[in-house]
């Protein structure tokens, strides 16, 4: 069987459980590259070839990516070779994964003002809108690229709600954008005649997934003085929102698409509630009403009075205890003196009457 057919058969096999098209495409890409240096019949695919290839890609990919690729190779070999335990005796060791180090540090995180600088540095309206939607919409790169205008809802209150199906999570999310973005997005919509929000210049399709990476390298260097990658933007937004006081962490998890690590809070909510929560992401927190503030201050004052009264009562009881203790000590002292006098008299009588 030829390599091409083997790859097709394996991808069909993986498709039984995996329904994520992006993941399936990555499987095909990594396996195709893995088998590129083998003979057509794969007769030379052995443990030495596997080891050399893993060593090679270990210098090219991050540990996080390797932790996805190595199990893929292991799965492929088990699927392809019934006698894999004899032919690949060290398979587990070669394809062992490691704990990935954190890819980002707090110092690498961007501020909201940095994103605005990037948008201002863009001369092209297309890219101005792209970076703003990408950041404020909390999208992964591929999901932002695939946005269509029919996913956008321009609300009466001036905000924008994006109803998008996210492939990685296999569910629909409602993304709320701040009202200040509405004018520039509407302006782009008026001049963009494609169904895609970010169309490719080469036909009616979205831009290539790698295009934003190259663009961001140039514009971030110009705006910030150093280069960044698209995921830094998404990661920064997550850090900002998760650490914002008063913001519901479950809402942020839902907006970021982190449902695999968070409670499935929104499974049974209706659309109106989802939209309401999406809008709250960029709504400023309201100051406490005057009456409520006065009520709480009054409660605090009453509580302080109770505490003061309790301290006074405790002090009074301590004084009473001190008086009683002092009297007891004096009585005990007098009793002891009386006993000593009587003892001396007895001793005197004994001495005078031998």
pLDDT at 230 over 60: yes
pLDDT at 270 over 70: no
Say which residue, 273 or 310, is predicted with more confidence.
310
Share of the chain above pLDDT 90, in %: 44
Helices (H), 81-181: 84-87, 91-94, 112-121, 125-136, 141-145
pLDDT, residue 111, reads: 82
Residues 6+ apart with CB under 8 A from 83: none
Long-range contacts of 217-225 (CB under 8 A, 24+ apart): 219/118, 219/121, 219/122, 219/127, 219/131, 220/118, 222/121, 223/114, 223/117, 223/118, 223/120, 223/121, 224/114, 224/117, 224/118
Say which residue, 48 or 267, is predicted with more confidence.
48
pLDDT, residue 312, reads: 84
pLDDT at 319 over 90: no
Rounded Cα gap, residues 138 and 117, in angstroms: 18
Q: How confident is the model at residue 253 (pLDDT cuts 50, 70, 90)?
A: low
pLDDT in tens, 76-127: 999 999 999 999 999 999 999 998 776 666 667 788 888 899 999 999 999 9
Please give the average per-residue pLDDT across 297-307, as a whole number: 89
Buried-exposed string 83-95: b where 16+ CB fall within 10 A, e elsewhere: ebeeebeebeebb
pLDDT, residue 257, reads: 60
pLDDT in tens, 134-160: 988 888 888 899 999 999 999 999 999
User: Look-up: residue for tokens 């002090």?
Assistant: 315
Rounded Cα gap, residues 269 and 250, in angstroms: 13
Share of the chain above pLDDT 70, in %: 82
The 8-class DSSP code of residue 179 comes to: G
Q: How confident is the model at residue 183 (pLDDT cuts 50, 70, 90)?
A: very high
Which tokens in the block code for residue 37?
């240096």
As a CATH number, domain 3-94 is: 1.10.150
pLDDT, residue 314, reads: 82
pLDDT, residue 269, reads: 39
pLDDT, residue 264, reads: 40
Say which residue, 304 or 320, is predicted with more confidence.
304
Report the range out of 173-177, 243-247, 252-256, 260-264 with the highest average pLDDT.
173-177
Domain locations in the chain as residue ranges: 3-94, 108-280, 307-354
pLDDT in tens, 187-204: 999 999 999 999 998 888
pLDDT at 240 over 90: no
Nearest-5° angle of CA 242, CA 243, CA 248? 50
Rounded Cα gap, residues 104 and 127, in angstroms: 25
Question: Rounded to two decimals, what is the model's pTM?
Answer: 0.55
pLDDT at 266 over 50: no
Report the range out of 35-49, 108-122, 258-272 with the highest average pLDDT.
35-49
Mean pLDDT of the chain: 83
CATH superfamily of 108-280: Intergrase catalytic core (1.10.443.10)
Say which residue, 31 or 229, is predicted with more confidence.
31
């Amino acid at each position: 069987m030829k390599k091409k057919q083997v790859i097709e058969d394996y991808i069909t096999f993986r498709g039984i459980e995996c329904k994520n098209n992006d993941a399936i495409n990555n499987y095909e890409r990594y396996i195709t590259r893995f088998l590129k240096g083998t003979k057509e019949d794969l007769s030379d695919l052995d443990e030495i070839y596997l080891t050399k290839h893993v060593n090679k890609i270990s210098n090219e990919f991050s540990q996080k990516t390797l932790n996805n690729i190595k199990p893929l190779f292991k799965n492929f070999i088990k699927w392809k070779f019934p006698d894999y335990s004899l032919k690949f005796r060290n398979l587990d060791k070669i394809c062992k994964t490691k704990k990935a180090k954190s890819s980002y540090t707090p110092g690498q995180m961007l501020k909201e003002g940095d994103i605005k600088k990037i948008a201002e540095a863009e001369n092209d309206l297309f890219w101005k809108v792209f970076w703003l939607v990408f950041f404020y919409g909390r999208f992964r790169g591929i999901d932002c690229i695939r946005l269509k205008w029919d996913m956008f809802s321009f609300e009466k209150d001036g905000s924008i709600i994006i109803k998008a199906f996210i492939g990685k999570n296999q569910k629909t999310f409602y993304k709320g954008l701040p009202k200040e973005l509405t004018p520039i997005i509407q302006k782009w919509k008026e001049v963009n005649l494609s169904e895609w929000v970010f169309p490719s210049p080469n036909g009616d399709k979205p831009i290539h997934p790698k295009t934003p990476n190259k663009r961001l390298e140039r514009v971030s260097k110009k705006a910030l003085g150093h280069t960044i990658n698209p995921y830094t933007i998404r990661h920064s937004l997550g850090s900002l929102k998760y650490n914002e006081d008063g913001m519901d962490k479950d809402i942020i998890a839902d907006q970021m698409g982190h449902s695999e690590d968070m409670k499935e809070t929104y499974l049974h909510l209706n659309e109106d509630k989802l939209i309401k929560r999406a809008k709250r992401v960029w709504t400023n927190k309201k100051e406490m009403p005057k009456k409520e503030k006065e009520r709480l201050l009054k409660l605090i004052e009453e509580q302080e009075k109770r505490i003061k009264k309790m301290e006074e009562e405790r002090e009074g009881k301590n004084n009473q205890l001190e008086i009683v203790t002092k009297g007891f000590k004096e009585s005990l002292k007098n009793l002891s003196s009386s006993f000593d006098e009587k003892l001396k008299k007895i001793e005197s009588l004994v001495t005078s009457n031998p």
